């Protein structure tokens, strides 16, 4: 068995905006396709052009789509008073971006799609993302790293935009 150590970089931003508003702002640019229909369409695609057409129809203006969400806060609220902070894990990505990375670093498919974590704390709503580039550095592929850095830039931009305070 081989072991690779990965030094993970986490991007986090804290916002004074309400939780629901943050999620709404994030999702405003992330596509939300019918995931079963999306998987069927991917399976039915016969070539790269067909695949890209399916993906283009599923992504939002950010170039990303939601694959699934996990409401960890709901699970926590089942214990105790029901007033636990809200925690939402959004699994987002773009199969074309994953393909570009996994073509040269197959392990990239273990990290994509990526997670955006939105959680309430006493100091505000935290938005966090683990850098894809930091996950791929140990594999030594400049091509995969360039794609990962572009993905990081996109996701970090989404977090910053969603967290940005209201202009007055």
* C-alpha–C-alpha distance, residues 152 and 160, integer Å: 12
Q: What is the pLDDT of residues 93-114, one digit of tens each?
A: 999 999 999 999 999 999 999 9
Domains of the chain as residue ranges with CATH: 10-30+63-163 (3.30.310.70)
Average pLDDT over residues 123-141: 97
In Å, the largest CA–CA distance within the chain is 57
Whether omega for the bond prior to residue 14 falls within 30 degrees of 0, making it cis, is no
Position 79 confidence tier, pLDDT thresholds 50, 70, 90: confident
φ/ψ region of 29 (left if φ > 0, alpha if ψ in -120 to 50, else beta) reads alpha
Q: At a CB cut-off of 8 Å and minimum separation 6, what does 13 contact?
A: 126, 127, 159, 160, 163
The predicted structure's pLDDT at residue 74: 84
Mutual orientation of helices 142-163 and 95-102 as an angle, nearest 10°?
A: 150
Q: Which residues, 6+ apart, have CB-to-CB distance to 28 below 8 Å?
A: 60
pLDDT of residue 116: 98
Residue 168 has pLDDT above 70, yes or no: no
Sheet strands (E) in the chain: 10-15, 30-31, 64-70, 87-93, 114-121, 124-130
* Alpha carbon 84 to chain centroid, angstroms: 24
Confidence class for position 55, pLDDT limits 50, 70, 90: very high
Weakest mean pLDDT among 10-19, 59-68, 79-88, 91-100: 79-88
**DSSP 8-state secondary structure symbol assigned to residue 62:** T
Average pLDDT (31-39) is 97
- Range scoring the smallest mean pLDDT among 55-64, 116-125, 139-148, 157-166: 157-166
Provide the pLDDT for residue 16. 95
């Amino acid at each position: 068995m081989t072991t690779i150590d990965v030094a993970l970089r986490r991007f986090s931003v804290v916002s004074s905006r309400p939780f629901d508003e943050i999620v709404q702002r994030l999702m405003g640019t992330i596509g939300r396709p019918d995931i079963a229909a999306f998987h069927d369409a991917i399976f039915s695609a016969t070539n790269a052009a067909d695949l890209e057409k399916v993906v283009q129809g599923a992504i939002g203006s950010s170039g990303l789509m939601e694959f699934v969400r996990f409401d960890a806060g709901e699970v926590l609220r089942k214990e105790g008073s029901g007033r636990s902070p809200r925690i939402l894990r959004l699994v987002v990505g773009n199969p074309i971006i994953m393909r570009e990375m996994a073509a040269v670093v197959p392990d990239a498919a273990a990290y994509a799609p990526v997670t955006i974590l939105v959680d309430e704390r006493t100091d505000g709503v935290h938005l966090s993302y683990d850098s894809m580039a930091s996950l791929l550095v140990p594999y030594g592929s400049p091509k995969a790293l360039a794609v990962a850095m572009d993905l990081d830039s996109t996701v970090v931009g989404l977090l910053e935009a969603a967290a940005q305070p209201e202009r007055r």
